[in-house]
Structure 1
């Protein structure tokens, strides 16, 4: 990828909020912010992959000082253009390795952002980076999908998830390497454009091991931000790991 903003450059940032409008609904955002306010407990929050501020802005509105790490300058430009966006400190860089000053009560990664790191090494580094920023007793929160391999019949590696007259969207899985990609065919005025973004899917148990390697332990795992139990039928999870006080 040659763009310095990675896969979230200007062409993606320009329509990012609109293309994921359902994620900006209050019913989605408020429960996440409620959890993070509680975990911050009057302290600071660090968002890894802050993007256009979907979570950071309402979290800051609740009185939590938020610092973000973000690779894409184009995404940060959208954050800055929103009310209150100029007051949030953002460091440009890879959230797996970029360090910022101070410590935090909570660090978090929302909606599958951990999968933007396309190697196991990068994901392990991210956990270590989060732990290094946390004060003792602080928490690291990850919201991420459960890999949908149960939807793959033998010999198939594609899972479609959106089909309309103007868009087809599908994930491609490589079960040998845990590599996946989200692929989009958009049709405008009879012309089609194709885009593809790589990810690496990761299992809950694998994330727990990454947390252990970073010196953290699992505190909670839910199906969603509203605290429903995580089960074998869950398609996503919100997991909270804690940095020990000793």
Structure 2
């Protein structure tokens, strides 16, 4: 995970209290029907070379990919999340550099066949400049012919009526969650309100994002010297259409001039 642009608090948005519950609260993302197609896709692209995960978190993708024989390394800003990764079986064999994946470097550069960034995490970079830097950083880590993979949502502004800035995505008796959008700056946030039914005490948690369009990502890739190779509507290589709610995009670093 990455916490915006050069944050002062390294674990600001993913502290221990969030890291401790992250896998449980994201349990659906660990199910075989979600996880297996993702790992299959990335395993094919990694080939025999090492892979680098931007925003490695608790190792949802890195650990099963490493179990298939891929040399996986990672970058993450949250020490609390990485501690959860390293406490899992095999997690201590996955090297992780603590830092912002828009600028943090691993190794001498130009050695990875695959760099990947999943689950909307590119939007944790909350400015266009930081997102551009992320693409440049990915390109600097890639060997010629290497691939940079990003999974992220397609901004769903069609759900936002004129004059409204918030869209709920979870409503229950004790938990409410909603996204807020600023269509001028492309800033958004996911906001969570939870109430303990026994005590009546509540908590509030917000995560800032910057939503980004597929064509905008293609331009960022071009600025970094990468070219679009393929784009899908999901990890199972579903066609990408005007109705797709997400995309999995693959950019390639040219093998020669």
Instruction: Indicate the TM-score class for this superposition, using the shorter chain for normalisation.
Output: over 0.9
Contact 1:3 1:9 in 2 (8 A): no
Per the TM alignment, residue 42 of structure 1 is displaced from its structure 2 partner at its CA by: 1.0
Structure 2 residue corresponding to 1:57, chosen from 60, 63, 81: 63
Q: Which runs of 4+ in 1 moved over 6 A?
A: none
RMSD: 0.9
**How do 1:135-146 residues align onto structure 2 when only pairs under 5 Å count?**
135-146=143-154
Residues 67 and 88, structure 1, Cα contact 8 Å, conserved in 2: yes
Distance 1:166 1:62 in 2: 40
Distance apart, 1:194 and its partner CA: 0.9
CA contact (8 A) 1:52 1:75 kept: yes
2: CA distance between counterparts of 1:72 and 1:31?
26
Aligned: 1:178 with 2:186? yes
SS at match of 1:15: helix
Which of 71, 93, 104 does residue 98 from structure 1 map onto? 104
Give 5+ residue unaligned stretches, structure 1. none
Q: Which residue in 2 is equivalent to 1:128?
A: 136
Q: What are the within-5 Å matches in structure 2 for residues 2-17 of structure 1?
A: 2-17=8-23
How many pairs are equivalent?
A: 246
Cα distance, 1:82 vs structure 2: 0.5
Task: Give the match for residue 27 of structure 1.
Answer: 33
Q: Distance in 2 between matches of 1:122 and 1:71?
A: 14
Equivalence map 1:142-161=2 (5 Å): 142-161=150-169
Which residue number in structure 1 is paired with residue 237 of structure 2?
227
Answering whether residue 244 of structure 2 is matched by residue 238 of structure 1, we say no
Q: TM-score, normalising length from structure 2?
A: 0.94
Deviation at 1:2, TM superposition (A): 4.9
Deviation string, structure 1 residues 17-61 (Cα, Å, up to 9, x no partner): 111110111111111110111101111100000000000000000
Q: Return 5+ residue gaps in structure 2 as ranges.
A: 1-6
Q: Distance in 2 between matches of 1:26 and 1:86?
A: 23
Take 2:189 and 2:228, find their aligned partners in 1: how far apart are those partners? 28
> Deviation per CA, 1:136-195, whole angstroms, max 9, x where unpaired?
000000000011100011101111101111210000000000000000001113221111
- The 1-side partners of 2:8 and 2:73 are apart by 27
Partner of 2:4: none
CA positional deviation for 1:12: 1.0
CA contact (8 A) 1:6 1:71 kept: no
Distance in 1 of aligned mates of 2:12 and 2:121:
13
User: Is residue 193 of structure 1 aligned with residue 203 of structure 2?
Assistant: yes
Q: Provide TM-score, normalisation by structure 1.
A: 0.98
